[in-house]
Structure 1
Amino acid sequence: MLSTADILKKVKELEIKSKRLTQHLFTGEYHSAFKGRGMSFKEVREYTAGDDVRFIDWNVSARFNHPYSKLFEEERELTMMLLVDISASSLFGTVHARKKDLVTEIGAVLAFSAISNNDKAGAILFSEGIEKYIPPKKGRDHGLYITRELLTRESKKKGTDITQALRYLNNTTRQKSIVFVLSDFLDPRFSEGLRVAGKKHDVIGIKVYDPMDMQLPDAGMLLVEDAETGEERYLDSSGYQVRKAYQEAFFSHSEWCKQAFTKAGCDLLHISTKEDYVKVLQKFFIGRT
């Protein structure tokens, strides 16, 4: 259990790292990737050559017997929501960090990226249920609050219900938002909830995994426990077929997640706990510009 002094120290470290990354790497990429994606209606004016015909207002045009175009303007501020899975499986980790540690750091960086661009940031921390809702706001203090909650909030339940988190997002967030879902996506029932959320919001999934999620070590007989159900079973990891089946199950699940996001019109990133997440995020931001 972290002491108050440890928490304050860790929050400060995350703020410093997030600000440094935001200033030197993400400011331009974040702005280019998301600014202009939220457009609000401004007015109608007479159609002129070169106007996009998709924006002709046919009702007004019929009324005045002359073509009129809708004009839109870039929304000056955006809202970023973090949907963060803090279920029991997030506590797993065998290399540099637990999945929860990586998710906390990525969440802090994303929150400060939004806030440094004068956008609002909020968060929904979930497991089987909603553990914490942080309404979107601006400002450094709010970024620090989100970071502190990501760092210290412990789930009351072990399981994962991504659909419930997505439904809660839709019910509490009226305007179109940028939504990052940070999870290992071990819940197999979220595809329909994702499809609904994807129609309203710009949803990006970040699938965080540990190397041992993908590959078993050759370590003989192992007693393994499902962190969320408590189910235990023995695995003979010295058997090649056992290790192969384990790895194939991981890749099959990853492919299913990818297809679910693609069908919903959303993006999905895969990040290992031993990987440089900065490069993955930067490449994603640049690819969206």
Structure 2
Amino acid sequence: MEATELLKKVRHIEIKARGLSRNIFAGEYHSAFKGRGMAFSEVREYQYGDDLRDIDWNVTARYNKPYIKIFEEERELTVMLMIDVSESLGFGSRSVLKRDMVAEIAATLAFSAIQNNDKIGVIFFTDKVEKFIPPKKGKKHILFIIREILGFEPNSKGTDLNMAIRYMTNAIKKRCTAFLISDFIDSADYSKALQIANNKHDIVAIQVYDELSTNLKSVGLMKVRDPETGGEQWIDTSSKRVRNAYRSWWENLQNNKNIAFRQSGVDNISVSTESDYVKSLLQLFQQRKH
């Protein structure tokens, strides 16, 4: 991508994502993604009506009068964007590529996080970790992340969700909220890695898919190419057997994904490139508040 084109896209996404995160998502994001819980703040003398469970017995014994612990919500989060940059994300049957929608969703989440004073980092992955950006705060850092999201060129083409999830689990020591954004086209079993990751961190999965991927249309002979392996072959889409085999492959992929999410307790949404991802994200935020 040319530098001028990249800057134009960065500016466009910055304006759109900043507007969405400020006007729509800021409050929803804050209430949907809590901090790490309650952090100790100070002690003070016991007052009538205070919860007896908050008494600090060590301080009480030292001063011979009851003192209680005061806690505050530990609001600051560390947010990790785990972004699939494999070759299959370059597909789009209409005007929007899966990759473009992934970029907009990631940028919107990034601006929402930064407006809540959260740290944010990124892991770009294919079948290997392509780039790790450690979590930091600030507008400059966010714009660097968005430039990377839009202009990043991976070295590899495949997808290995298992590897990416395990890497994040080990790389981030303190509990974080991690958004795993992918088309989830990976036939390998990543359920165990997801379960371990969600026990340590708070994982949220966002699937971006293209409607054409869900069903093969009957259009006669078609030359198809696997974007990740480069393999090509002719298929007869007018054959019901071929269409059923494709549909079966897609449904198995979705079933495995849904089982992995259910077993690991991961909140998730699926967003079509033809739908409004804003509604889907709001639905996700609402879902997490209940």
Aligned counterparts of 2:163 and 2:265: Cα–Cα separation in 1: 19
Query: Equivalent residue for 1:139?
Result: 138
Letter in 1 for 2:285: F
Aligned counterparts of 1:157 and 1:69: Cα–Cα separation in 2: 56
Q: TM-score, normalised by structure 1?
A: 0.88
Letter in 1 for 2:36: G
RMSD: 2.7
Query: Equivalent residue for 1:165?
Result: 164
Aligned counterparts of 1:43 and 1:230: Cα–Cα separation in 2: 57
- The 4+ residue runs of structure 1 with deviation greater than 6 A are 43-46, 68-71
Deviations 1:220-271 (A, max 9, x none): 0112121112233332111233223322321221121011011111112111
Deviates more, 1:86-95 or 1:231-240: 231-240
Query: Equivalent residue for 1:235?
Result: 235
Aligned counterparts of 2:158 and 2:52: Cα–Cα separation in 1: 48
List alignment gaps of at least 5 residues for structure 2.
62-66
List alignment gaps of at least 5 residues for structure 1.
none
Identity value in percent: 44
Letter in 2 for 1:39: G
Residue 96 of structure 1 pairs with residue 79 of structure 2: no
Tell me by how many angstroms 1:70 deviates.
8.0
Aligned counterparts of 1:160 and 1:52: Cα–Cα separation in 2: 53
8 A Cα contact 2:86 2:156, kept in partner: yes
8 A Cα contact 1:41 1:70, kept in partner: no
Aligned counterparts of 1:49 and 1:142: Cα–Cα separation in 2: 46
Query: Equivalent residue for 2:64?
Result: none
Letter in 2 for 1:143: I
Query: Equivalent residue for 1:272?
Result: 272
Rg (Cα) greater in structure: 2
Partner secondary structure for residue 16 of structure 2: helix
Query: Equivalent residue for 2:282?
Result: 282
Aligned counterparts of 1:171 and 1:70: Cα–Cα separation in 2: 33
Aligned counterparts of 1:218 and 1:70: Cα–Cα separation in 2: 68
1:28-177 map, 5 Å? 28-35=27-34, 37-42=35-40, 72-177=71-176
Count of matched residue positions in the alignment of Structure 1 and Structure 2: 281
Query: Equivalent residue for 2:256?
Result: 256
Aligned counterparts of 2:28 and 2:52: Cα–Cα separation in 1: 27
Deviations 1:157-188 (A, max 9, x none): 11111222222212221111110001111222
